[in-house]
Amino acid sequence: MSESAFQIFVNALLANNFVLAMFLGLCPFLGVSGKLDTAFPMGVATTFVMLVASLCAYGLNLLLTAFHLEFLRLISYIVIIASAVQLVEMVLKKYSPALFRALGIYLPLITTNCAVLGVALFQTAREYDFVQSVTFSIGGGAGFTLALVLMASVRERLTLSNVPDLAQGTALSLMLAGILSLSFMGFAGLGG
Amino acid sequence: MNAAQYKTWDEFMEGVWRQNPVFVMVLGMCPTLAVTVSAINAISMGVATLFVLVCSCGLVSLMRKLTPKEVRIAVYIVIIATFVTAVDYAIQAISLALYDALGAFIQLIVVNCIILGRAEAHAAKNPPLPAMINAAGMGVGFTIGLLALGVVREILGAGTLFGVALFGAGFQPWVIMVLPPGGFFVLGAWLLLFSWWARRKAGLPAKEATPHV
């Protein structure tokens, strides 16, 4: 447990970016990154869910360990995440109905975003303490948002260029993601 | 083959070929890209997913009349998580090396959209046997997809296949292929190949670039 909170944050944000280095949360990454207007709110909403999930998972893990019920970990994590998503959905619906409609189906799908479950599982596997867990989830969420925004900016530019029909759609997005991921490899070793 | 057999076969091939989860529907991307650094990892992941897929679709289908519509997603998720926990412990018991290689991605099978998608779109509306056959087709299709990626990445990135060296000592491995960017590139290339092939079959010219502003 020698990692400082800052190292964890930088690692989760850049060097081990959730999307581009660890392949977590690819479905929304490919699905919502078409427009910048929806990509950023989606990133923020996911970050919030990650934070809530991470806090709950931390508490829950203490409880499960105390009662020697570790085999229930996966099931209880996923139930907690589903409830957290429901919470975000209700808050958004009340305070920003426009955004709620813009995110549409992708909002409930945060439940099946592996980045969220990934945060909960990785912090348990690495035995992070409370502060470390919180920074890990915020860093991971920020990294997810960063990747989403970068990808959306590139794809917005790309709609104006002349792309061969063959490469339209997912194939092109994957190639773009590959190039982004290549550039993120430059951050390797940054967090020490 | 009589008509009934033919229908069963058709149901199975649906997932293997026409609706292949990796190449046609582009679902379940996270494990697809993350674990396919070698062919053996790819197969293990594919088989683990296949098992969870068949078992949970069978159970979802059996419980389809007992499940209230409002809470169905929660029920599916809990069923899936149960089988994933079983697979997780099984792999840990069978091969610790494999368990370390696949890491958190075994548990992340829970959030693989293919499984929830099958439960919602097929198993919830059909009797257990067809549901399980359909699920098995999808699982095999997924495994084939993973294998296609794993084989290419292992050959190019490490110069081996299933751990057996293919080239002489002079081979310089193309390391980028086993690193994250390689996953994106190889899958992108496969998708290009498939769309080129689909286009050729449809008799369309492949080279023409049309602006789409």
Tell which B residues from 52 to 81 touch A, by Cβ distance under 8 Å: 73-74, 77-78, 81
Write out pLDDT tens, residues A4-30: 888 888 888 888 888 888 888 887 788
Interface pTM, i.e. ipTM:
0.81
Kindly determine whether residue A175 and residue B113, on different chains, have CB atoms separated by under 8 Å: no
* Phi, psi (rounded to 5 degrees) for B204: -95, 150
Q: Which chain B residue is nearest to residue A168, measuring alpha carbons?
A: B192
Residue A142 banded pLDDT, cuts 50, 70, 90: very high
For chain A, how many structural domains are there in total? 1
Tell which B residues from 183 to 202 touch A, by Cβ distance under 8 Å: 183-185, 187-188, 191-192, 195-196, 199
Give the residue from B83, B41, B37 showing the smallest Cα distance to B58.
B83
**Domain for residue A35, yes or no?**
yes
**Domain for residue A37, yes or no?**
yes
- CB proximity B116 to A under 8 Å: yes
Contacts of A3 (CB under 8 A, 6+ apart): A11, A132
Residue B54 banded pLDDT, cuts 50, 70, 90: very high
Q: What is the mean pLDDT of chain A?
A: 83
Q: Which chain A residue is nearest to residue B180, measuring alpha carbons?
A: A21
pLDDT at B55: 93
CA–CA min distance B124, chain A (Å): 18
Element containing residue A37 per DSSP (H, E):
helix A36-66
Q: Give the separation between CA B95 and CA B58, rounded to whole angstroms.
A: 27
Write out pLDDT tens, residues B26-43: 777 777 888 888 888 889
Kindly determine whether residue B206 and residue A170, on different chains, have CB atoms separated by under 8 Å: no
Kindly determine whether residue B184 and residue A112, on different chains, have CB atoms separated by under 8 Å: no
pLDDT at A21: 83
Write out pLDDT tens, residues B118-145: 888 888 888 888 889 889 999 999 999 9
Q: Which of B70, B84, B106, B107 to probe the A interface (max A CBs under 10 A)?
A: B107
Q: Give the separation between CA A82 and CA A61, rounded to whole angstroms.
A: 17
CA–CA min distance A22, chain B (Å): 7
Q: Which chain A residue is nearest to residue B31, measuring alpha carbons?
A: A23
Q: Which chain A residue is nearest to residue B197, measuring alpha carbons?
A: A166
Kindly determine whether residue B192 and residue A23, on different chains, have CB atoms separated by under 8 Å: no
Q: Give the CA count within 13 Å in the CB-facing half-sphere of B154.
A: 22
Kindly determine whether residue A27 and residue B213, on different chains, have CB atoms separated by under 8 Å: no
pLDDT at A191: 62
Q: Which chain A residue is nearest to residue B24, measuring alpha carbons?
A: A170
Give the residue from A110, A89, A126 showing the smallest Cα distance to A47.
A110
Could you tell me how many CB contacts below 8 A there are between chain A and chain B?
120
The parent domain of residue A15 ranges over 9-159+166-183
Q: Give the separation between CA A82 and CA A5, rounded to whole angstroms.
A: 27
- CB proximity A174 to B under 8 Å: yes
Q: Give the separation between CA A55 and CA A62, rounded to whole angstroms.
A: 11
Q: Give the separation between CA B213 and CA B43, rounded to whole angstroms.
A: 42
pTM score, whole prediction = 0.83
